């Protein structure tokens, strides 16, 4: 196949707006909204081109979301410079993390999430000691995960979209976030034409 015809094929197969495959285009379901908190996603490079990645869906719905792709401190130099340790928290279950349900986060206005498979998220955590200086939280009683197109490492683990939805719903009780509704369409569209593909 000629390069030009290959490019045309690729352009045709992916929506130019949401960048998901045409068959799973979600544009008609997306209504962008905002929240007062700053949302930072540290995305492992293996997630960036994964069509089933949920952080990309968050970015479409919440354009203020900042996604930094990388694995080690050098990759995240830009965000490290901006982090204010007095007002920033990381969502990651670790030895020193606390159950977020038991704390009122009055001073926290920035939330950091790691977007990766569990094994790679742990690697990002270990390679980034700057994260260990921040208050860390885990979820003690999250809603059940609804991510049938990817495997959760164990019950109780949420996708990045669900984790962000959980936090912003908690921090903004008046907000009716559309994230889960869009996520439902996203999963349904994948399942409708690729029922056995999980990774």
Taking the C-alpha atoms of residue 157 and residue 56, their distance in angstroms, rounded to an integer, is 18
Residue closer to Zn ion by CB (options 130, 193) is 193
Residue list 23-42, contact with Zn ion (CB under 5 A): 25, 27
Residue closer to Zn ion by CB (options 27, 86) is 27
Please tell me whether residue 69 binds Zn ion under the rule CB under 5 A: no
- Considering only CA atoms, which of 5, 52, 49, 41 is closest in space to residue 115? 41
- Per DSSP, the three-state class of 123 is helix
Side-chain-side CA neighbours of residue 32 (13 Å):
8
Please tell me whether residue 18 binds Zn ion under the rule CB under 5 A: yes
Q: Which residue in this structure is represented by tokens 């990766």?
A: 116
**DSSP character for 14?**
B
Binding Zn ion (rule: CB under 5 A), the pick from 6, 11, 17, 193 is 17
CB 107 to Zn ion: min, Å: 38
Residue closer to Zn ion by CB (options 15, 122) is 15
Q: Tell me the CA end-to-end span of the chain in Å, nearest whole number.
A: 29
CB 19 to Zn ion: min, Å: 7
Please tell me whether residue 175 binds Zn ion under the rule CB under 5 A: no
Q: Starting at the earlier edge strand, list the strands of the sheet with 136-138.
A: 66-69, 38-43, 110-115, 88-91, 136-138, 98-99
CB 129 to Zn ion: min, Å: 39
Please tell me whether residue 15 binds Zn ion under the rule CB under 5 A: yes
Beta bridge partners, 87, equal: none
Encoded tokens for 168: 């912003």
Residue closer to Zn ion by CB (options 15, 80) is 15
Residue list 76-135, contact with Zn ion (CB under 5 A): none
Encoded tokens for 71: 């694995």
Residues that contact Zn ion, how many (by CB under 5 A): 5
Residue closer to Zn ion by CB (options 21, 142) is 21
Contact positions vs Zn ion (CB under 5 A): 15, 17-18, 25, 27
């Amino acid at each position: 196949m000629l390069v030009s015809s290959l490019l045309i094929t690729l352009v045709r197969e992916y929506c130019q707006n949401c960048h998901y495959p045409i068959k799973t285009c979600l544009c008609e379901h997306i209504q962008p909204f905002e929240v007062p908190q700053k949302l930072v996603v540290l995305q492992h490079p293996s997630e960036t081109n994964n069509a089933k990645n949920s952080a990309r869906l968050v970015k479409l719905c919440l354009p203020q979301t900042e996604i930094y792709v990388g694995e080690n401190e050098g990759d995240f130099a830009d965000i490290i410079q901006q982090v204010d340790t007095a007002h920033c928290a990381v969502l990651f279950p670790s030895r020193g993390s606390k159950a977020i349900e038991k704390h009122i986060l009055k001073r926290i206005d920035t939330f950091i999430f790691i977007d990766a498979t569990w094994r790679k998220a742990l690697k990002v955590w270990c390679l980034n000691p700057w994260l260990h200086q921040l208050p860390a939280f885990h979820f003690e009683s999250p809603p059940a995960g609804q991510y049938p197109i990817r495997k959760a490492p164990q019950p109780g683990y949420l996708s990045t979209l669900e984790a962000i939805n959980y936090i912003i719903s908690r921090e903004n009780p008046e907000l009716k976030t559309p994230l889960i509704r869009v996520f439902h369409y996203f999963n349904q569209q994948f399942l409708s034409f690729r029922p056995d593909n999980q990774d």
